[in-house]
Amino acid sequence: MRIPFFLFVFAAALQAQTPELETYIEVRTGTLPIVLTVPHGGTLKPESLLARRYGVTGIDSNTIPLSEMIIEELAARYGGKPHVIISRLSRSKLDPNRDLEEAAQGDPTAIAAWHRFHDSTQKACNAVMKKSGMGLLLDIHGHRHLDQRVELGYLVKAEVLKHSDAELNADAALIASTSIRDLDKRSPQSFAQLLRGPQSLGALLEFRGFRCMPSGSKSNPAFLAGYFSGAYDVTAHGSSKSGTVSAIQVECPWNNVRDTPENQRRFAIALADSLGVYFEVHFGRKLK
């Protein structure tokens, strides 16, 4: 049987593309019910990819080494590794934390890389659901807002965080639209407590020396202060639409978190310790 010529061309293109896609989007399979996505730490700027013409292009410096330490600290405590998806491409070439059009802006290789990032992330979430029934995705970022706190994004906008705990807890439509919709159903604590109670992720990190928002000490951002409430990754892969993997966008400040290897390590230790408590309190199971 003759194989049509176009299939040869297609196969050759695929072969040529696959190794570089694996370099651009690094995927590691894990065993813990945790998925780490790192969309903005990459520095590769291959000339074969078009530069993005609009949107944010600045990278989240040091989020890749920070994530490597988080992976190490999780492994040291819980006897397994998280699933990991890292974009090694500079944000000037691909922004995985946006819809496809803004992310890749028409470049065929960037489009393929975006698909690899999100297909791999969804596969990781599916593997977590199959093995553990539930899990948590952390989308690791860096911000340069004046208030140098760790910003935790659950798809709850800054102006909504100004509502009282009672108002938040009564807003079923709001809760159902967040990236922790499924976790809210599992946790014995209220939705407001999940966001800023004494055992919220923000409070657990503050107890270990890192100021956060939202948290017990800061329930909502100051007037005109920046705050990232979560974007494409936690919307696409969190539990707002379906599934039992909830997602949190973790925006790390530069000062005291990303700036030096020592501070990166301190934060990785605090986050790994906090997640153990968080799983027991809210997921009702040990992290392992």
List residues near Zn ion by CB under 5 A. Answer: 40, 60, 141
- Residue in 72, 59, 95 with CA at minimum distance from that of residue 254: 59
In the complex, the smallest distance separating the C-beta of residue 169 from Zn ion, rounded to whole angstroms, is 30
Residue closer to Zn ion, measured from CB, 118 or 141: 141
In the complex, the smallest distance separating the C-beta of residue 238 from Zn ion, rounded to whole angstroms, is 16
Helix, strand, coil percent content, the chain, rounded in steps of 5: 45, 15, 40
**How far apart are alpha carbons 35 and 282 in whole angstroms?**
17
Nearest residue (beta carbon) to Zn ion = 141
Amino acid 40 reads H
Residue closer to Zn ion, measured from CB, 127 or 158: 158
Cα–Cα distance list, 211 to 79, 113, 251 (Å): 28, 34, 12
CB contact at 8 A, 93 and 49:
yes
Residue closer to Zn ion, measured from CB, 113 or 174: 113
Beta bridge partner(s), residue 84: 28, 36
- Give kind and range of the element (H or E) at residue 213: strand 212-213
Residue closer to Zn ion, measured from CB, 44 or 75: 44
**How far apart are alpha carbons 210 and 187 in whole angstroms?**
24
In the complex, the smallest distance separating the C-beta of residue 258 from Zn ion, rounded to whole angstroms, is 11
CB contact at 8 A, 200 and 215:
yes
In the complex, the smallest distance separating the C-beta of residue 87 from Zn ion, rounded to whole angstroms, is 10
CA neighbours within 13 Å on the CB side: how many for 154?
Answer: 29
Residue closer to Zn ion, measured from CB, 37 or 193: 37
In the complex, the smallest distance separating the C-beta of residue 142 from Zn ion, rounded to whole angstroms, is 6
In the complex, the smallest distance separating the C-beta of residue 60 from Zn ion, rounded to whole angstroms, is 4
CB contact at 8 A, 135 and 121:
no
In the complex, the smallest distance separating the C-beta of residue 155 from Zn ion, rounded to whole angstroms, is 15
Burial class of 63 by CB neighbour count within 10 A (0 to 12, 13 to 18, 19+): buried
Amino acid 63 reads T
Residue closer to Zn ion, measured from CB, 40 or 83: 40
- Residue in 30, 31, 32, 28 with CA at minimum distance from that of residue 285: 32
Residue closer to Zn ion, measured from CB, 207 or 254: 254
